Structure 1
Amino acid sequence: MSKALKIPFVDVSESLLINSALVVQVPTKADDAIPPYTLATAHQAGWIWDIALTNRRGVGFVYSDNHMTDEQAHEKLDRYLGDSKQDLTYRKIPMRVGYRKKFWHKNCVALGLAQGFLEPLEATSILLTDFSAKFLTLRFPSSTTQLEQLEERFNHAMGYAWERVIDFIKLHYCISDRTDSAFWIANKNQDTISTSLKEKLNLWKEFTPVRDDFFSQFEVFYLENFLFVLYGMNYNTKASNSPDKEQAHCLARLKQRAEIDHYLINKLPDHRALLNKIKQYGLQSI
């Protein structure tokens, strides 16, 4: 798309400040615990992903090289890994953050990384690839006369989807209460936040977020995804005035959920034990 078709690249680095990553595979011992989730740890100029598998951990130190030198990043990753770092070699991945101005041009369609790249927060690349492939299969041309119309529809839908995903990633940064470094302060700068995201955040200061705040079927992240981030980061939205009966019902449901969680935590095997049993016996057929 870039070299042959000369489709320009839309750079979004003024909004998403992350542009570098150090990645490494860390060997683990056979009895090391395996968390059943990805660990994400914020640092002064970005964040760290830590994904545990049965025999290794995939660790990535993501940062803005405008706010941290490569040497500082190496030192901080060393400190994070501690004794686990051994004689490991880190690989640096520069990130050009953004997307193509067009995703379909003439008889060429871009999917996956050919469309663009965003930091690997919330598995955005996988979601956008799946979203694009599904959209393409539902409107795949059967003749050349359809190309122009389908190209326009595809580009409009994918452009909207990419812009909304960028909003969702930016949300993680711009509502943070961290003010301990230039990176986090810069992420709160209103000039780095899109108009659409600012409108939502301003709306939610006065109202409780609802599904109708998301207008398009081409949203990749919906209400529930935003609620996890908003309330997980203690963003104060306007609470709705629910009747006492409804509040009592919600509190009862939360209590029931907590009791179920407590029961399951004490009954279910840990993640490594479960994976070992699956490896030994397989999964039950449905």
Structure 2
Amino acid sequence: MDPLSEVFSLLNVRAARCTRFEASGGWSYRFPAKPALKFGAVIRGACWIDFSDIPRHQLAAGDCFLLANAPAYVLANDERLTPEDGITAFDWAQSDIAHHEGDDTVLLAGSFSFEASDAQLLLGSLPRFLLIPARNPSASVIRSTLQILDHEIRGTQIGTAVLTDRLADVLLVQVLRAALDQGNGEDFGWLGALVDVRIGKAIGLMHGNAAYPWTLEVLANAAAMSRSAFSKRFKSIVGLSPLDYLLRWRMRLARDMLRRGSTVAAAAFRVGYSSESAFGHAFKRVYALAPKQYSRSNILSKTPRQR
């Protein structure tokens, strides 16, 4: 797998829910902050989104956006109206579709859940608000996915939940690709590093063979850079030194193995450690728990409590 696909797998990125909002007339709704990744898209009509501390953004049909560690915001088409609570104003428990008078404006929205301990790897790479406007060259591809997603949300056929989840996953990757295409990759941290010709190659090597005894010199040579230039650029984009990134990636892989029931010895070997003691020190440095403690706590969390 490529690095982004691997991280999605380890983070267990999955759509939590997809919803549809229809409105006509004047309207204004406030939505609370949510420590997650959310997407929104305007299917029809226009509105604006306001975060109160920065100028509001106008949204038009075909626009799609992401909210990382989603802050509180207001969606509205009339700035003179006092915002209503967008959660209590509709019966979200009974339906994924909310109505306000008509459907001159239609928005789709959804959120994603992650393995919490590593979510920052993705969320920390994204700005709070990321807009992919309809004029973006990738917008037509995104629009096609949105049309199918909209059809499934409104439909009643079997398998709708499975399809909406998969389509939301596809949409997220499409939006991330579009964002990287339209902006400076260095503005997207780890995500931007993946598409950097030199740094991305080094990350691909580390992901491709985590157990290999990578050194700074070998990685720098692969990137066709001096060690100092490679280290400086890697850290400026990713936020970690190359070898610290390698350490954390190895421990993520090992933790995933332990979660799936692997022995400590097998996990250590898989990520390049011949000594369980050295592996244990590295694991504890990253997760503040010894591997065996993590395994026990993971088993206990999966064991049903006796009444």
TM-score (norm 1): 0.28
- TM-score normalised by structure 2 residue count: 0.26
